[in-house]
């Protein structure tokens, strides 16, 4: 753990040279890190130019938003550790995607999208001040397009057409478009991130009121789609991952929530210096007052999500039984079942249930609130007290590479430990998995193997 003697530059860039301090001169050829500027992308990379380990700590603090780097590194650590523990059938439900409820594994995706919004707002507002709004939007549009192309190649496209039409679907440009729009494999993290960024370009540099109204509009449209056709269409397990293409609407709400966190960081920056006083009771009071907006936002958002999950399941257009092959079943006529995070996993999933695979709006709302709570911990530890962990910085800077490697690494783990192994087998393998992944991250970081758009 490191503790600098002074805390500076909360408003300075966390992403790249094009988000430098307000007083700094703009660079003529800014570097855009894939994840630093672009969400999962912008949540997943570094500027690719600065070797943090080679800089004095004071210089690091002046060029980075410490809380965002630390938060990003923590999420990447979860991405590595949780699948290694939770892939087995006998693993604790806390570490697995259970189809319903809100587990530690389910918390990872909202964290990523929150970081997307934080980084995207940070980068584009500063770029817009220097080069104009349209120039900033144009550059982001190009980077988002490249990110989508990378995701399309990485995930692949579900095939159902043939050139000759022997299987009932003759290949054409129209069928290719349908495969992209409705395919199961296409809409995953990177592609969804790219579309979210494009959807938010009209408002991401606008004031809070614009973004709040846009978030409400997207949420209302998504809920209308869920009740009218989308929830029922995506009920068969093979037809969706994370809500499919329509799910981009509600994931965009999480991205906008991340942009509000960036607003908070901008607001809090000049006030941090007033927190540090000799009297500990007075310091604690000032920290509480400084963090009060985030505390209120987290409590209200999580309570709202839990409350909506208690609405009668009979109001749902259809329900899904995860205990019976994920079959579509009539919704129970009794009262709703409250979704309690980290404890309750009801096999019957309705439109009101917490469900990551279905990307239900209640799951998204609660996930936003929980992400605020986790970010608040890093804001206090890193931005107020200057506490950082170096390996979180390394994981943050190599996040996109680790995201890709972890996908293949999970298959490696699954090949060594069968899915029906007892939970202690996965726990035994966890230190080995962490050691391999963290060493790979350090190798990539030290050799400056970064991806740029």
pLDDT at 322: 73
Q: Where are the alpha helices (DSSP H) in 88-131?
A: 108-131
Q: Is the separation of the CB atoms in 12 and 65 below 8 Å?
A: yes
Q: How confident is the model at residue 63 (pLDDT cuts 50, 70, 90)?
A: low
Cα–Cα distance between 19 and 31 in angstroms, integer? 10
For residue 353, with 0-12 CB atoms within 10 Å meaning exposed, 13-18 middle and 19 or more buried, which class applies? buried
Q: pLDDT tens digits for 328-362?
A: 777 777 655 677 788 777 778 888 989 888 889 99
For tokens 């409820």, the residue is 101
User: To the nearest whole percent, how much of the chain has pLDDT over 70?
Assistant: 71
What residue spans define the domains of the chain? 33-96+389-453
Looking at per-residue pLDDT, the higher value among 224 and 181 belongs to 224
Host H or E run for residue 73 = helix 66-86
**pLDDT of res. 435:** 84
State the pLDDT confidence band at 183, using cuts at 50, 70 and 90.
low
More confident residue, 415 or 189: 189
Residues sharing a CB contact under 8 Å with residue 303, sequence separation 6 or more, in sequence order: 369
Banded pLDDT at 451 (limits 50, 70, 90): confident
Helix (H) or strand (E) holding 321: strand 319-321
Residue 47 pLDDT > 90, yes or no?
A: no
pLDDT at position 56, please?
35
Kindly report, residue by residue over 399-434, the tens digit of the pLDDT: 888 888 776 655 455 556 666 666 677 677 778 778
Between CA 42 and CA 52, with CA 48 as vertex, the angle to 5 degrees is 105
pLDDT one-digit tens code per residue, 252-265: 999 999 999 999 99
CA atoms within 13 A on the CB side of 96: 16
Q: Is 47 in contact with 122 (CB distance < 8 Å)?
A: no
Average pLDDT value for residue range 162-174 = 50
- What average pLDDT does the chain have? 77
* Residue 64, pLDDT score: 76
- 94-150 residue pLDDT tens: 888 877 889 998 999 999 999 999 999 999 999 999 999 999 999 999 999 999 988
Sheet harboring 327-329: ordered strands across?
A: 327-329, 319-321, 348-349
Minimum mean pLDDT range among 157-166, 185-194, 429-438: 157-166
Contact between 316 and 351 (Cβ < 8 Å): yes
In the predicted structure, residue 26 carries a pLDDT above the cut 70: no
pLDDT at 73 over 80: yes
Residue 105 CA, distance from chain mean position: 12
pLDDT one-digit tens code per residue, 253-309 = 999 999 999 999 999 989 998 888 888 899 999 999 999 999 999 999 999 999 998
């Amino acid at each position: 753990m490191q503790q600098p003697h002074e805390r500076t530059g909360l408003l300075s860039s966390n992403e790249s040279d094009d988000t430098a301090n307000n007083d700094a001169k703009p660079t003529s050829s800014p570097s855009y890190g894939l994840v630093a500027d672009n969400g999962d992308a912008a949540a997943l990379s570094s500027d690719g130019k600065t070797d943090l380990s080679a800089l004095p700590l004071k210089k690091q603090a002046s060029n980075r938003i410490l809380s965002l780097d630390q938060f990003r590194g923590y999420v990447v650590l979860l991405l590595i550790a949780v699948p290694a523990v939770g892939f087995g059938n006998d693993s604790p439900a806390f570490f697995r995607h259970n189809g319903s409820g809100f587990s530690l594994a389910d918390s990872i995706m909202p964290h990523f999208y929150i970081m997307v919004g934080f980084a995207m707002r940070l980068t584009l507002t500063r770029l817009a001040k220097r080069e104009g709004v349209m120039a900033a939007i144009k550059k982001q549009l190009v980077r988002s397009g490249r990110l989508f192309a990378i995701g399309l190649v990485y995930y692949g496209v579900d095939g159902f057409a043939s050139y000759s039409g022997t299987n009932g679907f003759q290949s054409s440009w129209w069928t290719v478009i349908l495969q992209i729009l409705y395919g199961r494999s296409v809409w995953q993290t990177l592609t969804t991130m790219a579309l979210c960024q494009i959807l938010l370009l009209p408002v991401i540099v606008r004031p809070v009121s614009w973004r709040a109204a846009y978030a409400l509009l997207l949420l209302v449209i998504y809920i209308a789609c869920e009740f009218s056709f989308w929830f029922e269409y995506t009920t068969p397990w093979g037809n969706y991952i994370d809500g499919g293409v329509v799910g981009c609407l509600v994931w965009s709400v999480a991205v906008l929530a991340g942009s509000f966190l960036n607003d908070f960081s901008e607001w809090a920056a000049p006030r941090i210096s007033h927190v540090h006083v000799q009297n500990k009771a007075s310091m604690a009071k000032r920290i509480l007052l400084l963090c009060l907006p985030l505390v209120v936002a987290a409590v209200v958002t999580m309570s709202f999500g839990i409350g909506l999950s208690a609405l009668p399941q009979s109001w749902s257009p259809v329900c899904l039984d995860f205990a019976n092959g994920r079959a579509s079943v009539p919704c129970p006529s009794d009262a709703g079942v409250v979704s309690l995070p980290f404890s309750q996993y009801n096999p019957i999933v309705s439109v009101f249930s917490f469900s990551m695979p279905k990307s239900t709006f209640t799951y998204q709302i609660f996930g936003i609130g929980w992400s605020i709570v986790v970010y608040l911990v890093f804001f206090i530890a890193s931005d107020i007290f200057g506490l950082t962990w170096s390996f979180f910085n390394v994981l943050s800077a190599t996040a996109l590479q680790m995201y890709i490697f972890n996908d293949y690494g999970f298959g490696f783990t699954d090949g060594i430990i069968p899915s029906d192994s007892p939970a202690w087998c996965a726990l035994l393998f966890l230190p080995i998995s962490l050691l391999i992944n963290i060493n790979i991250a350090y190798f990539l970081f030290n050799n400056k193997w970064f991806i740029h758009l």
